[in-house]
Each structure stands twice: as structure tokens, then as C-alpha cells.
């Protein structure tokens, strides 16, 4: 499964990329606001660091506006993926982008039928938000299973990019279901690599190695 970092924080993106497990990056207007950066300025900087797809989200909500913004974003770097909201105007724009060879990530997906329409429009990625569904006492991973099944049934090319990931269990389940990718906050990427038994086991090994330092 491909791992994307869900962040607009260049320092943490660099740290995550240095681990060697990051295949791409996703941003959104809220993540940009958190770091106080402008999309057009930040995206080329992220593209210098991340060797893979980098999602940049439009803020227009009408088809013409989405097309204008998306075309400008796509010109920033060859790895830019234009992130489009899953609304009717967004679907119209995705179809045009698809014909123009501009990659898209259709975001804010919360139902299997939304995902089906995004695939029919020619989306490169669909982003179902599992954490936000879980927050409403719905089952985010059930949505992933439904989308993967529908896409398999009809051989849709759109890749399932699990989003709004909150914990390592989301990542494990996304991989078990066979989602193509997950976009994960840096805090959760670090959790993926850690286990308390690894830490206590390592501490014991290091202590024993020290005790045995004088051995022949």
C-alpha cells in the first residue's frame, strides 16, 4: 500500500520522507491555514522534497472556477494532483481534467455512490474520509470495503486513497481491505513504526550488552 503524508508542514514532511516510506503528500486548506502558508508557494517546495504525487486543493466550487484554479495548480509541478471536492460541479471539472491529462484527487467522499461517480468522471484518486465517519459513530472502514468492491466489480482505474486517518488500526484495515493508498498524519506514521514491546525489548538487550561488555 502506498503511504502519503497528510501535511502542509514542510519540516515534518522532510522528516517523514527521510524515513524512506513516503510515496506522496496530500494537503488541504485547513492544513495550509495551520502553518500559515500559501498553496502556490508551498506546493513547489513540497514537490522538491516528495518524489511522488502531491495533492493541491482548489477552493472554487463552480466548474469553470475549479478548472481555472486546477490548471494553474497543475502547472506548478509535474507531480501535482488537483484536489477537487465531491460535488456535482467538481465531477464536471474532473471529467475535463481527465481528458486534459491532469490528475485529480476527489476529496470529501463519504458514500459509495459518490465514489462510483468520481470513478465514472475519471478521477485518479478518491479520498474517503474514514475518521470523520467514525466521529459520527459510522463505520469509516466499511465505506472503504464498499468502494474497493465496487471498483473491483467494474474494473474502475480510480485509486482508493484512504483519508482522515486517525490511528494505526485505520492503516492496518485499509491494507487488509486492499486500498491502494492511505494519507496519514506524521504522528500516525511514527506510531506505525513503534511498539512498547520493541522499546522494552531493546532496552533490555542494550542493558545486557553493557553488562556483558567485558566478556571474552
The yes-or-no answer on residue 211 being catalytic is: no
Query: In which region does residue 101 sit, left (phi positive, over 0), alpha (psi from -120 to 50) or beta (all else)?
Result: left
Tell me: does residue 26 bind ligand E4P (CB under 6 A). Answer: yes
Residue 131 binds to ligand E4P (criterion: CB under 6 A): yes
Query: Any residues with CB less than 8 A from the CB of 108 and at least 6 apart, and which?
Result: 85, 86, 127, 129
107 binds ligand E4P (CB under 6 A): yes
Minimum gap (Å) between residue 42 Cβ and ligand E4P: 14
* Residue 171 cell numbers, joined: 492503516
Q: Which of 14, 38, 78, 83 is catalytic?
A: 83
Nearer to ligand E4P, 67 or 81 (CB): 81
Of 129, 151, 156, 186, the one binding ligand E4P (CB under 6 A) is 129
Q: Is the dihedral of CA 69, 73, 79, 83 positive or negative?
A: negative
C-alpha–C-alpha distance, residues 212 and 206, integer Å: 10
- Contact residues for ligand E4P (CB under 6 A)? 6, 26, 28, 107, 127, 129, 131-132, 163-164, 183
Active site residues: 83
Amino acid at each position: 500500500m502506498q503511504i502519503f503524508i497528510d501535511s502542509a508542514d514542510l519540516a515534518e514532511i522532510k522528516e517523514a520522507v527521510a524515513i524512506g516510506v513516503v510515496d506522496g503528500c496530500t494537503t488541504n486548506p485547513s492544513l495550509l491555514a495551520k502553518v500559515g502558508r500559501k498553496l502556490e508557494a508551498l506546493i513547489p517546495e513540497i514537490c522538491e522534497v516528495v518524489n511522488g504525487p502531491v495533492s493541491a486543493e482548489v477552493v472554487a466550487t463552480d466548474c469553470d472556477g475549479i478548472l481555472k484554479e486546477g490548471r494553474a495548480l497543475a502547472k506548478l509541478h509535474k507531480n501535482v494532483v488537483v484536489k477537487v471536492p465531491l460535488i456535482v460541479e467538481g465531477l464536471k471539472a474532473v471529467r475535463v481534467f481527465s481528458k486534459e491529462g491532469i490528475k485529480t484527487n476527489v476529496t470529501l467522499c463519504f458514500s459509495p455512490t459518490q465514489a462510483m461517480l468520481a470513478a465514472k468522471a475519471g478521477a485518479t484518486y478518491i479520498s474517503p474520509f474514514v475518521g470523520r465517519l467514525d466521529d459520527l459513530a459510522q463505520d469509516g472502514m466499511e465505506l472503504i470495503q464498499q468502494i474497493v468492491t465496487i471498483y473491483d466489480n467494474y474494473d474502475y482505474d480510480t485509486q482508493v486513497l484512504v483519508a482522515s486517518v486517525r490511528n494505526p488500526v485505520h492503516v492496518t484495515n485499509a491494507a487488509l481491505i486492499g486500498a491502494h493508498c492511505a494519507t496519514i498524519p506524521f504522528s500516525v506514521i511514527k506510531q506505525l513504526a513503534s511498539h512498547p514491546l520493541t522499546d522494552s525489548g531493546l532496552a533490555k538487550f542494550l542493558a545486557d550488552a553493557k553488562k556483558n561488555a567485558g566478556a571474552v
